[in-house]
Amino acid sequence: MLSRKNFLARDSNKWRAFTFVFLLNLGSNCFKTSLINFGLARQRVLKYSQKLF
């Protein structure tokens, strides 16, 4: 029972590290694309607001 618990704990640590790295990569990619999208959206909003006012 104890060895299985230790094995599961070790496994969960491995998975935690893997998910952390995966989320970090995903987050940095999403951050880059969201920055680009944010810039495009800002330009669109500025154009639209210039039409409005």
Separate counts of helices (H) and strands (E) for the chain: 1, 0
User: Side chain identity at 17, as an amino acid letter?
Assistant: A
Q: Which residue has the tokens 């299985």?
A: 4
* Whole-number pLDDT of residue 2: 62
Q: What is the mean pLDDT of residues 10-24?
A: 85
- Residue-wise pLDDT for 25-35, tens only, equals 888 888 888 88
**Mean pLDDT calculated for residue range 27-46:** 88
Q: Show the tokens assigned to 19.
A: 């998910």
